[in-house]
Amino acid sequence: MLLVNVRGICSAKKRKALFLWLNERKYDIIFLQETYCTVEVEDIWSTQWQGKLFSSHGTNHSCGVMVLVRSDLDFNLKSFEADTQGCYVVMEADVQGSNFLFLNVYAPNKVQEQCLFFDHLNNIIEKFIDDKEQKILVGGDFNIALDSYLDCSGGNPSKNDSVKNIQDLCLDYGLETFGV
């Protein structure tokens, strides 16, 4: 699995280069954030990707998340939900005989909006959890630094309510955090 904030792939040249690069590396599932995908271009993009494509539309200059699934992966979608703002995609799927809940996120930048957003994510996960064997993968761009030592360079990062919301989410569902 790979997570990439692409900062827009409206340019055909950039999108083609990205899709080629991803296909060469043979990632099974890819989470993209800030795709700037709209309803009008999704059909074109889905023909350019050599697999399944699931998205939540932003505008042609902001937001948008997308999940790409390699064409030869044993992947059976059970349910799909996307918000109308281009901030998340949630999918239940059977992948090679195992049950998964995938949640690709592009969180708001402002702390107050983040807190509401992460509370909403908690409700979404709660709604979709249907068995103890289901594996939960949450990834994306959370627009916060969970660990200021690892995630920040300079400035004066501080812990805020958003960090606590994510930590609570991890505790509630036994999730682990990692960064790149």
The predicted-structure confidence for 90-141, as pLDDT tens digits, reads as follows 999 999 999 999 999 999 999 899 999 999 999 999 998 876 789 999 999 9
Percent of the chain with pLDDT over 90: 70
Sign of torsion over alpha carbons 174, 119, 155, 140: positive
Q: Which two tokens stand for residue 172?
A: 């509630």
Please list the residues that pair with 78 across neighbouring strands.
none
For residue 179, being part of any structural domain is answered with no
For residue 41, being part of any structural domain is answered with yes
The predicted-structure confidence for 30-66, as pLDDT tens digits, reads as follows 999 999 999 999 999 999 998 999 999 988 888 999 9
Q: What are phi and psi of 137, to 5 degrees?
A: -120, 115
For residue 180, being part of any structural domain is answered with no
For residue 114, being part of any structural domain is answered with yes
Question: Which range marks the domain in which residue 80 is found?
Answer: 2-173
Of 81, 71, 77, the residue nearest 99 (C-alpha): 77
Q: Does residue 156 have a pLDDT over 80? A: no
**In the prediction, which pLDDT does 19 show?**
96
What is d(CA 89, CA 31) in angstroms, rounded to the nearest whole number? 10
Q: What is the CATH number of the domain that holds 134?
A: 3.60.10.10
Domain count, the chain: 1
Contact 127, 90 (CB under 8 A): no
For residue 58, being part of any structural domain is answered with yes
Q: How confident is the model at residue 161 (pLDDT cuts 50, 70, 90)?
A: confident
For residue 13, being part of any structural domain is answered with yes
pTM exceeds 0.85 for this model: yes
For residue 178, being part of any structural domain is answered with no
For residue 164, being part of any structural domain is answered with yes
